[in-house]
Chains A and B, each alone.
Chain A
Amino acid sequence: MPGLTGKDATLSAYADKLEQLDAPKGRSLTQDALRRLSKNKAAMVSIFVLAAIILIAFVGPYFVPWGVGEVDWTSIRKPPDFEKGHFLGTDQNGRDLLARLLQGTQMSLTVAAVATIVSVFIGVVYGAVAGYFGGRVDAVMMRFVDIMYALPYILFVIILVVIFGRSPILLFIGIGALEWLTMARIVRGQTLSLKEREFIEAARAGGAKPFTIIMRHIVPNLTGPVVIYATLTIPEIILTESFLSYIGLGVQEPLTSLGTLISNGGPVAEVMPWLLIFPAIVLVTMLLCLTYIGDGLRDALDPKDR
């Protein structure tokens, strides 16, 4: 063929081979991480169980014979009864526990999702700004994080709830707004090393403004550690929410959450153990799965432990 040197011929042959998939192919970092994750049995099982819980929590209510607030006057304080469709029993007011449990799980999952997004957003922006500007800005911002670290943040959530009333939205935002400290630290550390890289210098030379550099060039490169840490934050947030609901400051009736259910079930567990046991099983399973997934992701994505 005219115009082709020997080298080009070899290269084209190689390209043809690549197309037919019999040449060695490289693996991207993500593929590598996914492969490692899929080899981690505990994490894989946890992902399936958690997916099942989420699916059941959001789809399940359409298949449960009883509504959330529906009172069955003929069976109050009854243990699981399959004939009437109370698969997990009823509470003191004759409400179906399964329906309430699904709604509570939904609520806990929603709080976890929203609060995690809030905390990731604040943490990433705060950490990236502190790390990128460095110097005095960094010193002041990180000093503030240190101060917040020393304080019992749950007390601040309680103060917020006491003062602004007990709405679920406030709960979402309040928990998220106080759970970002560790995220900010991690992001700052990553940013400090990222900002010395050539592509940031190139962006700066191209006249990009600091905000653009942070949002377009730094934040996307933080995905790995942010994802790992966010997964580890979710169980903390679920715990915080159930803690608040447990002491009566979280989700209010008629809505319910796992913490509220456990708090209602605890005092009557002697005579109606099902009211404590079933919410407890769901909560513990969820936390267990999230912990294993977080650990699995960390092992898969963190280059340090390879």
Chain B
Amino acid sequence: MINYVLRRILAALPIAFIAITLCFIVMRAAPGGPFDRERPLPPAVMQNVLAHYNLDKPLWEQYWIYVSGVLQGDFGPSMTSYDFSVSQLLAIGLPFTLMLGMIAFVLATAVGIIAGIIAAVKQNQWPDYILVFAVMIGVIIPNFLMAALLQLGIGVHLGWLPAGGWPGFSIPHLIMPVLVLSWPHAARISRLMRGSMIEVLGTNYIRTAKSKGIGERLILARHAVKPALIPVVSYLGPGLSYLLTGSLVVEQVFGLPGIGRYFINAALNRDYGLVLGTTIFYVILILILNLLVDIVYAWIDPKVRYR
């Protein structure tokens, strides 16, 4: 097991490295620098600004400075919020994004798995139909539309929940964002779970267990759920990446103070430094989370460990 974990970590490192390199190259290939204005800066000022951001050095040296910075947790300067570095902005937004993401992820995974099991057991009965409908809504309606509709319906017309904003930690303000974020995720997971559960319930060893007279609940808990979880666990990695990119929109729509808002504003203002810093940060975050998923995968499915 330890061997396997080490191998996964070693495999993740070059990916992080390639992503950083790719981002750096794309950033430097951009036409026009971040300080090109309609009215050009005086050459002396320009020289100083470039020197401040190390942009006057040869390319490989810039690359070296950037990579060693990222390794030390420094994602470079922001080009529009002059007083802040990208790391500082990330540090402000990160706790919230992580909290929102984790709540939505855990909730969606749990709900998705349970709903999938129920739908598989009650195949072609009303719980199954309700699930198919809920899944359809989750997959079809894009998150920004869902957010707008919920804001309009529940937030404004019914007035049950606040339509947005973040006055410090408050659960009512979290309900709609978490719902919007987790619905599509839960939908995909429950669909996977339902499919694999139906497959598992049709296998011979489940029939054997039934013929031995074991109760239905025990069969589900002991024999059916764990093997049925395998496709779900392998989806969790990509699922997380969807969920985190989804939180970009959710934070924006509900006016929540996470990384997503910085990212979108940076993209709109063409703040290269912040966009790239944030992207690299997301990539590293996703790689770490994927690593955790892989470890869980190996724990559930022993076949994976010895591949």
Contact = CB atoms under 8 A, between A and B. Distances in A.
Q: Bound pair: A and B? A: yes
B286 A152 contact: yes
A284 B141 contact: yes
B49 to A, nearest CB: 20
Contacts of A248: 264, 268
B133 to A, nearest CB: 12
A247 B152 contact: no
Interface stretch (A29-37, A84-92, A126-134, A261-269): A261-269
Contact of A150 (B147, B248, B286): B286
B190 interface: no
Interface string B17-33: 01100010011011100
Interface stretch (A117-125, A160-168, A189-197): A160-168
Contacts of A155: 245, 278-279, 282-283
A4 interface: no
A258 B23 CA distance: 30
Interface in B264-307: 264, 267-268, 270, 272, 275-276, 278-279, 282-283, 286-287, 290
Interface in B251-269: 252-253, 263-264, 267-268
Interface in B5-22: 15, 18-19
Interface stretch (A13-21, A49-57, A69-77, A238-246): A238-246
Interface in A258-294: 259, 262-263, 265-266, 269-270, 273, 276, 280, 283-284, 287-288, 291
Contacts of A239: 142
B272 A151 contact: no
Interface residues of A, number: 37
B145 A162 contact: no
- If over half of B's interface residues share one DSSP class (helix, strand or loop), that class is named, otherwise mixed; here it is helix
B144 interface: yes
A101 B144 CA distance: 18
Interface string A228-243: 0000000000010011
B245 A162 contact: no
B104 to A, nearest CB: 16
A152 B252 contact: no
B275 A150 contact: no
A161 B263 CA distance: 13
A150 B152 contact: no
B140 A287 contact: yes
B76 interface: no
Interface residues of B, number: 46
A154 B245 contact: yes
Contact of A249 (B139, B152, B267): B267
B207 to A, nearest CB: 22
B149 A159 contact: no
Contact of B140 (A266, A276, A288): A288
A270 to B, nearest CB: 5
A150 B287 contact: yes
Question: Which residue, of A147, A149, A154, has the highest number of chain B Cβ atoms within 10 A?
Answer: A147
A284 B140 contact: yes
A243 B249 contact: yes
Interface stretch (B86-94, B213-221, B236-244): B236-244
B273 to A, nearest CB: 11
A263 B249 CA distance: 11
A227 interface: no
Given A162-B270, A163-B26, A247 B145 contact: no
Given A269-B148, A280-B149, A284-B141, 8 more contacts: A147-B15, A152-B286, A158-B275, A164-B30, A262-B145, A262-B148, A280-B145, A291-B136
The 9 closest A-B pairs by CB, nearest first: A266-B148, A163-B30, A246-B144, A155-B279, A269-B152, A152-B241, A154-B245, A152-B245, A287-B140
20 contacts: A147-B18, A147-B19, A150-B286, A152-B279, A155-B282, A158-B279, A159-B279, A242-B142, A246-B142, A246-B144, A247-B267, A249-B268, A262-B144, A266-B148, A270-B152, A276-B149, A276-B152, A280-B149, A283-B145, A291-B136
Interface of B: 15, 18-19, 23, 26-27, 29-31, 136, 139-142, 144-145, 147-149, 151-152, 156, 237-238, 241, 244-245, 248-249, 252-253, 263-264, 267-268, 270, 272, 275-276, 278-279, 282-283, 286-287, 290
